[in-house]
Each structure stands twice: as structure tokens, then as C-alpha cells.
Structure 1
């Protein structure tokens, strides 16, 4: 079952709850304003606890949020891309040509990692259906 709250799903739940209230009102006494408010609160409580809606309102753990995980990966990618400029190169262990290619590979890896992380973060934010808890 999808955890997202869609307009048709919400309409169905509210219609079901409102039908119950209308049936109760039609069966008996006139309703005062206070009774109407209490019934409205009761309907709201039933809507948010209904099995069709409640899963979408449950918070997701922060480490399962695509927006947060993507942002963390974008930051990690930026750090990896900056690594060649932040660390001293030991030229004795490799030729200058090997160092140049290694630095380019590390930078490219970091940039790709950061772009993918940013894309995951934006996708997570755009498609979010639940709060972070």
C-alpha cells in the first residue's frame, strides 16, 4: 500500500466519516453547535487514525529520509572532490603523471558522488509524503 495521502484517498475517508455523522444526526435529536464541534473533532481524530491515512502521517527516521541521506552524500562528494587539493602529495612514491591522473580520478569521483547525492536529495524532497521524526 502506498503511504502517500492522495486527494481521492482523503476524500473517501472524510466521506465515510461524514456519512456516519449524518446517519447519527438523521436518526435522532437535533445537534447543538457544541455537539457539532465535538463530532467534527471526533471525525478529524478518526480521519488521522484511519488505516488508509495514518501510515502517511507516521514520521520516517532521519537516516531513511532520501533528502537527508542525499544531502549528506552531496557533502561527502564535495569533500572527496576537494581531497587532492587538501592533502599533500608524496611525489617520491609516484611519478608526476601518475599523481596527475590520480588527482583527476579522485576529483571526478567526488564530483559525480556529489551530483548523485544532490539528485537523491532533491528527489527525496520532491517526493516526500511523510514528516521526519
Structure 2
């Protein structure tokens, strides 16, 4: 009987500790910042980005910053117009030449906007 109570006590203690940890742990949040978009655009311009990485950042809305969400939507639109997803596996650029030029302009604009707001 003592062994039963000991096992029951240990189980209740472990379950209570797990429940306490789950109740106090917050939901993890990922906030896309300008540096994340700049790094993604740089990788896309040198053909070192995967489609999964592109979709992970560009595919989800940025709710904490309307300007960054506009940049994200513009990049998604560039992919729709100029994207060449089927060539990524061959090491080719994510976008065609016109899309690369527009992405470079978008990247430069974001970098200038970020530098202006950091001053």
C-alpha cells in the first residue's frame, strides 16, 4: 500500500509540474523585422534562398507594422508576376531579370526606410 501511495504521489507531482509549466508558458511569437526581410531579399538576389524559406517569411502577414506588410505583399506580388519556382532546384534565380531588378529596388527602398527610422 505504501508503494502504491508513493507512485501515486510521484505521478501527481509530475503531472502537476507539467500542468504548471504549460499554464505559465506563453505562446511563442515570431515578429518579422526589417532585417529579416533584407536578409531574405539579399539571399534571393544571389540565388541562395529556397522556396520554403521564401514562403515562410513572405507567406504570412506582418500585423505589427503596416509598412513591412506592404513590402511583404509587394514581394509576394513580384513572385506571382516574375517567379520561377521550378528553377530553384537547379540553382537558378528565384525571379526572372525584371523581377530581380524590381526586388533590388524594393530591397534598396526598405534599407533606406529602415536607415531613416533608425536615426
Whether TM exceeds 0.5 here: the answer is no
Instruction: Identify the structure with bigger relative contact order (alpha carbons < 8 Å, sequence gap 6+).
Output: 1
| TM-score, with length taken from structure 1 | 0.28
Larger radius of gyration: 1
